[in-house]
Amino acid sequence: MDHLSPLDAAFLDIEDADPHASLAIASVAVVEGPAPTHDEFLALMRARLPVLPRARQKLLRVPLDLGTPGWQDDPAFNLAYHVRRTALPAPGGDAELSALIARVMGQRLDRDRPLWEYWVVEGLAGGRWAIVAKVHHCLVDGVGGTMLYDVMYGDAPAPDPAPEQDASLLSLLGAAVTSPMRTARLVASAVSGLVSLVGSLLPVHASSLFGPLGTARHYRIVRASLAEVKQVAHTFGGTVNDVVLAAVSSAYRAVLLARGERPDPESVRTMVPVSVRGDRRMDNQVSVRLAFLPVEAEHVVDALSVVHQRFAALKKGNEAEAGHAVTELARHEPFAPLSWSIRLGAMLPQRSIVTVTTNVPGPREELRVLGRPIVEILPYVPIAVRIRTGIAVLSYADRLTIGITADYDSNPDVDVLAEALHEAFATLVSAAKARVTPSPPVAASKRRARTARPRTRAARPGAAPR
């Protein structure tokens, strides 16, 4: 029997400890053209399921948590239960789609069945339809979720099988004996990173941005041009992720100011997942970096500079490597105390992390579903353990889409966050264009005329004056 890794199992433990959490991730493919019939879509899913063995398997808990949960074939598997169909009310715009996504994602998946659902959504504006792909986080991380698109709608091969989970220290000791220098370097890097990581878990300044959650959710959509965001990164120096985090910083600053709260430098720490994926397995292969967002910066361009400096320093601090090392070591430790500690920690009122910001590269080429083009993909990230908002960013072809998840009761002003995020991207793009735009030809010629020095030549005998 295949077993979950400790990291995969941790998402189940957190969900068990937080009655208001639904730890499923999702992506929403918006598709051009008429929606297929229910039988047509079922036939597509039935044809693809053989390359996704987890789609027909359900969880099996090990008694007393003596090992991580395992996967077993569901003898009562019924594809029709997992593939559902609904329609939006008119006019079928972003508001109606967002309300549906929030409602679907606020409901937990049934642990007695395979942990996924696909929803075909009719009635989108412009004659479009959508597919909501809902999968529990114990199955995939963000990058693994985008790999599903290449498998389901592209030509990608089946994912790699999961490795066997070794519950002893023998393999770890064997690595230390056979590669002592490499092991020593990994340990030193992990220790250095852990010191930095632990220091990043100090409590933040109190604000309304974090606290107890309910079960209902808001969802909002923000869009940006990937080419323009890349141009901002190129113009000011940095990465696409830096630009995203700068815009997010500006948006949270706007929310704090709108609520009459002070945007202190140590009031908004975000958790940024970092992929450590080395193969095509569909499980979780992710670590994290933790950093304060510069909400104190009045201008988003200034925030971009600070974000770039902070995350460049974090990369040198080995935080992500340390987090990965801890999860790898957990594979060799008894699972029961690890599981109990995760559940206990999830029940305690954490005051260190205010939000999560995840940026996942999606498919680079346009994909099709039953011959119909996917025009955009919207991401969804779950929230739990007093984190009242989460922001997911996904690139697809030349588009960048941002999905905002927010606790319903504590974020009645979620539109302030969405609008401020949109404005932050627009401001960054305008600033980048202003910085690289060449001077108008007329103005340039006038400057040349003012600065040019007159040239004189000695007159030749008999030459006409110029």
User: Catalytic residue at 3?
Assistant: no
Which helix (H) or strand (E) segment holds residue 172: the answer is helix 170-178
Please state, in angstroms and rounded to a whole number, the distance separating the CA atoms of residues 112 and 72.
11
- What are the residue ranges of helices labelled H in 293-406? 300-316, 319-330, 335-347
Annotated catalytic residue within 82, 136, 137, 218: 137
Which are the contacts of 312, defined by CB distance < 8 A and separation ≥ 6?
none
Cis bond upstream, residue 91 (ω within 30): yes
Tell me how far CA of residue 142 lies from CA of 273, 308, 436, in angstroms: 9, 23, 34
Q: How far apart are CA 464 and CA 30, in angstroms?
A: 75
126: left (phi over 0), alpha (psi -120 to 50) or beta: left
Residue 273 · residue 286 · CB < 8 Å = yes
Strand partners, 289: 272
d(CA 238, CA 272): 16
- Residue numbers annotated as active site: 137
